[in-house]
Amino acid sequence: MTTVHVVGGGLAGSEAAWQLARQGLDVVLHEMRPTRPTPAHKGDGLAELVCSNSLGSDTTGSAPALLKAEMRHLGSVILDAAAEARVPAGAALAVDRDVFSVAVTRRLASLPNLRLSRDEVVCLDGPVVVASGPLTSPDLAAHLQAQLGVDQLHFFDAAAPVVTRESLDMDRLFVASRWDKGEAAYLNAPMNREEYAAFHAALVEAENTVLHLEEEKDVAFFEGCLPVEVLARRGVDTLRYGPMKPVGLTDPRTGRWPYACVQLRQDTVTGDMFNLVGFQTQLKWGDQKRVFSMIPGLAEAEFVRLGVMHRNTYLASPAFLEPTMLRRGRADQAFAGTLIGVEGYTEAAATGLLAGINLGRALRGHAPLVLPTTTMLGALARYVASADPANFQPMNANWGLVDPWPERMRDKSERRRRQGERALSDLSAIVDPITARA
């Protein structure tokens, strides 16, 4: 029987390997860690989340929630494992990153036709899904660039710090989710006007890490994941409309929304660690500790992880990719994850899912599926396959990608609800949810 190779045991690769194996194919999942570490991963587990522990909103009517609903319909192993590893996070789906990684690994290990190989792949040979992520090893990146004849693009992405719960001053924090949606899950650090002004000034003046990269003078960030100090430098109030937004967070001690608020989200099932939501940063570590300790409740905070910034590689996929995730003219090669210009854990896994289904179908002699662009995944796949390659930028799931509702409808939440229903009904019409066969 043909052996299919999957390169990269991250979000996309784990999902792709699962989808291939459950179609009965022999699969080898290649993961280079721990032999070859990356600058961002900490361990050797599959599907390691390198920064935030959130897989995004799971509230009906939101774009990320629709993507998840479609993935569940298609039998996502990543979301199945996420359900097991879930931690309280209000309207979002957040997980304990270690429990999550173990849950993914256990599921993959349960398939007798799937084998994990700890090695670095440097060239493509045989049927393959390439899902080597934003930190693809340099040799493989160079090989892909040469083989595909496309540019290697990049942007910079930063991770947020994590603190221990026992080091927090709970008298200064209150527990709530924004607008009281879902369970009261976040620790909230409220600031008054003076505290905010002092914090903002310190953040603006703090020192950046010096990137030892030639692109240092021309650092391009992903707009959706800007370092907190970059946002602060855009204007004194920018943070109050971003990660320090106070709306919908009533402080029980005052009965009012604070002037600004930092949210901390549970990072582990045990609740012993919390991450600073939206506080991805590239500040020097000493300055991170000094400035973030000014946040109410964090004066004595123990930082178990500090923010770091990394260069993310991606390919100009519209130049070579079909919306099936297969390479144009090559039914034996598929690509998925951040490498093809989708941004976010869930988006990476979703494209891995489609790549796995479709490479499997192609190898079994079936036509690959082109998902309807009324679906979030179909629309995302269309984007990475048909955007302008010259100005190609990574993309999250969002409603702007999806076919609009055919009639004018003023009530946005009703429109989103109907678009969501249409997406799942269109998906069901072409895909059997159990076998993912059309």
Interface contacts to ligand FAD, rule CB under 6 A: 7-13, 30-33, 38, 40-41, 50-52, 120-121, 131-137, 140, 157-159, 310, 312, 337-339, 344-345, 348
CA distance 315 to 228: 27
Closest approach of ligand FAD to the CB of residue 240, in Å: 21
Q: Cα–chain-centroid distance for residue 243? A: 17
Among 129, 140, 116, 240, smallest CA distance to 190 is for 240
Closest approach of ligand FAD to the CB of residue 101, in Å: 10
Question: What values do phi and psi take at 50, rounded to 5?
Answer: -85, -15
Closest approach of ligand FAD to the CB of residue 275, in Å: 9
Instruction: Give the torsion sign (CA, 75, 78, 79, 85).
Output: positive
**In one letter, which amino acid is 364?**
R
Nearer to ligand FAD, 129 or 191 (CB): 129
Nearer to ligand FAD, 250 or 275 (CB): 275
Nearer to ligand FAD, 221 or 259 (CB): 221
- DSSP-derived secondary structure letter, 395: B
Contacts of 318 (CB under 8 A, 6+ apart): 384, 385, 386, 387, 388, 389, 392
Nearer to ligand FAD, 54 or 419 (CB): 54
Nearest residue to ligand FAD, by Cβ distance, number only: 10
Closest approach of ligand FAD to the CB of residue 53, in Å: 8
Nearer to ligand FAD, 51 or 69 (CB): 51
Closest approach of ligand FAD to the CB of residue 16, in Å: 9
250: left (phi over 0), alpha (psi -120 to 50) or beta: beta
CA distance 382 to 319: 13
Closest approach of ligand FAD to the CB of residue 158, in Å: 6
CA distance 355 to 325: 5
Nearer to ligand FAD, 191 or 385 (CB): 385
